[in-house]
Structure 1
Amino acid sequence: MRKYITLLIAAAALVIGSTAYAGIAVIVHPSSGIDTLSADDIARIFLGKTKKFPNGQQAIPINQNEGSPIREKFNRAILKKTPSQYKAYWSRLVFTGKGTPPKDSGTDADVKALVAANPNVIGYVDSSVVDSSVKVVFELP
């Protein structure tokens, strides 16, 4: 019995550990014409510094819900901002009339569905949910 409990705890730790360290995939529609983007390209789009992909096509960034661990990791790694810095950044732009923040669009499944439905949308999801309905243009480990 004790061996069974130890094995069960070890298995649970592996599952939890693999989920906690999953990568983040930045995704676009497969027909968008975008094959790869740099972290700087992505940051410029999500910070409202450009409204276009490098190929000139309109870019519509969408976020996961505020408080999501994936969003927090994305903001820190790509945008170089903590949640409060990100909120302050957009509050300042909105107040001065210089920008509109990306829409919060829900979970991995919600973001993936929106990206799969529109060639101009760019989003990010847990890399484990990527399938052929979207194309990965950048990946964080």
Structure 2
Amino acid sequence: MRVLLLTLVLLSSSVTISANEQKLALIAHSGVDTHTLTRDTTRAIFAMRQRTWPDGQAVRVYVLPNDHPVHARFTKEQLVVYPHQLQLAWDRMVFSGTGQAPNRVNSQSEMLERIATTPGALGYLEREYLDERIQVITME
């Protein structure tokens, strides 16, 4: 009986933890014509290897700091890479002079504001931060 009770307590606490983690959304400026991206294209854009949207418009990439929990979740869950792997790719491009790092923002509120006001912008947020000024990009 105690084992059953302990199991129920552990299960309910794990459900509470996962319920507190909001689903993440890939977001873009409302003027972006692309509404769907593949995982590979999304990964290439965030790795700064692809600098334009499929229609040719310049992409302005925004990210949270490497140690931000939402950044870590986004890179691991959506891009299937670790934050330090992305940072290494950005550093390599910057130091070799072949590219630049993405724009960093300090909070999800700042991310929302930058995406909403920057044509061609792409970023990510927990769904609770979404509003009508930006669009959600579906990832295939």
Provide the TM-score with structure 1 as the length reference. 0.80
Is the CA contact 1:105–1:111 (under 8 Å) kept in the aligned structure 2? yes
Tell me by how many angstroms 1:16 deviates. Answer: 4.5
Q: Specify the alignment match of 2:125 in structure 1.
A: 125
| 1:1-141 correspondence to structure 2 within 5 Å | 16-20=17-21, 22-138=22-138
Give yes or no for contact 1:39–1:138 (8 Å, CA) kept in 2.
Answer: no
Secondary structure at the aligned position of 1:62 is classed as strand
1:19 partner letter: N
Q: What is the letter of the counterpart of residue 18 of structure 1?
A: A
SS in 2 for 1:84: helix
TM superposition score normalised by structure 2: 0.80
Amino acid at match of 2:79: L
What's the counterpart of residue 9 of structure 1?
Answer: none
The SS at the match of 2:122 is strand
- Whole-Å Cα distance in 2 between the matches of residues 66 and 84 of structure 1? 7
Q: SS of the counterpart of 1:90? A: helix
Stretches (4+) displaced over 4 A: 13-16
CA contact (8 A) 2:36 2:139 kept: no
Residue identity (%): 24
Q: What SS is found at the alignment partner of 2:43?
A: helix
Task: In structure 2, list runs of 5 or more residues that go unmatched.
Answer: 1-12
- RMSD value, Cα: 2.4
